Amino acid sequence: MVDSQRFVDLCRPRRIWAVAAVHAEVDRLGTLHDDLGRRFLPGDRLVYLGNLIGRGRAVAATIEELLMFRRALLAVPGVLATDIVYLRGGQEEMWQKLLQLQLAPNPREIMAWMLSQGVGMTLDAYGASGERAIAAARDGVRTITRFNAGLQAAVRAAPGHESLFSGLRRAAYTGSPEASPAGEGDGVLLVSGGFDPGRSFEAQGDAFWWGAESFARMDRRYGGFARVVRGHDPARGGVAIKRYTTTLDAGCGFGGPLVCGCLSRNGDLLDIIET
């Protein structure tokens, strides 16, 4: 059985709208939502492919925009809460690890690396800073614990933010992770940044965030999936459609547009929105 607390079965959607990495570019996200709100129909699914936060400065405003659009969609007759899915990307994974930094054996090195990857903007959004985080990591476990308690309180104080973070999933899919007896499948697997075809579905672990190289080498079907779709490419190679994979990242957060792909239930790209 697939763990429903980590993965989402999209069942048989009419269409799937898959939003690539946002990186806190709230203006682009708002424009995309305006367009998507006119196109989304009951029976569709909306999947945000992670990396919602980080890099850009408007982290808190981005979360507010996500929550506001969710409320707007749920006001449409026939749209269900389960039709809207948020995946965990590398930025969200770093944020979770930051809030557990007191457990790390080398907190100063980890904190410095996270800051180099853009987590400082999320710290700023919740009333902290990279400088304070480095100082806490240097001072030891007690200081880190107090520092993180303040961050967690700030997240709880922002209505809806804690619920969104706690509801992040690792992947979403149609069809089945298991291959049919014929070795074929017609489902689609949606991930944030990567996937390792050499691992079982349940054993992917951090490959969902950091397995970009393995994803790029995929040359055959995986399990019951005709296609694997990701929302972030660290190499910033642009939108790419290959035989077994699709990348929707056009560089949002690095000067490029935000992309949302409209997919069939087997992963064919039907339409694309760029803002």
- Is residue 244 over pLDDT 70? yes
Least trusted range by pLDDT, from 65-74, 181-190, 229-238: 181-190
Neighbouring residues of 216: CB distance < 8 A, sequence distance ≥ 6: 235
Q: Does position 263 have pLDDT exceeding 80, yes or no?
A: yes
The pLDDT of 122-151, averaged and rounded, is 96
- Which of 236, 244, 234, 239 is closest to 274 using CA atoms? 239
Q: What is the mean pLDDT of residues 113-134?
A: 96
Taking phi over 0 as left and psi of -120 to 50 as alpha, with beta for the rest, 138 belongs to: alpha
Angstrom distance (rounded) from CA 221 to CA 141: 46
The per-residue pLDDT for 1 is 58
The separation between the first and the last C-alpha atoms of the chain, rounded to the nearest angstrom, is 38
- CATH 3.60.21.10 residue spans of the chain: 7-89+170-274
How much is the mean pLDDT over the chain?
A: 95
pTM exceeds 0.85: yes
The confidence score (pLDDT) of residue 5 equals 84
pLDDT tens digits, one per residue of 39-62: 999 999 999 999 999 999 999 999
> What pLDDT does 226 receive?
93
Residue 249 pLDDT grade (very low, low, confident, very high; cuts 50, 70, 90): very high
Token output for 196: 């390792």
Query: Which residue, among 31, 51, 209, 191, has the nearest Cα to 121 in the 3D structure?
Result: 51
Q: Token pair of 116, please?
A: 């180099």
Q: Which residues are bridge partners to 229 per DSSP? A: 190, 246
The Cα diameter of the chain in Å comes to 58
pLDDT over threshold 60, residue 103:
yes
| pLDDT exceeds cutoff 90 at 2 | no
Q: What are 171-222's pLDDT values in tens digits?
A: 999 998 887 655 567 899 999 999 999 999 889 999 999 999 999 999 999 9
For residue 123, CA distances in Å to 118, 157, 255 come to: 10, 15, 22
Q: Which fold has domain 7-89+170-274?
A: Purple Acid Phosphatase; chain A, domain 2 (3.60.21)
Cα 238 to Cα 5, 140, 163, distances in angstroms: 31, 41, 32
Q: Which residue reads 């014929």 in tokens? A: 182
Q: Cα–Cα distance between 171 and 185 in angstroms, integer?
A: 17
Element (H, E) at 93: helix 90-98
| pLDDT value of position 210 | 95
| Residue position matching structure tokens 């965990």 | 88
CA distance 214 to 251: 20
Token pair belonging to 56 = 């850009």
What count of residues does the chain have? 275
Order the strands of the 187-191 sheet from edge to edge: 7-9, 171-173, 187-191, 225-230, 245-247, 240-241
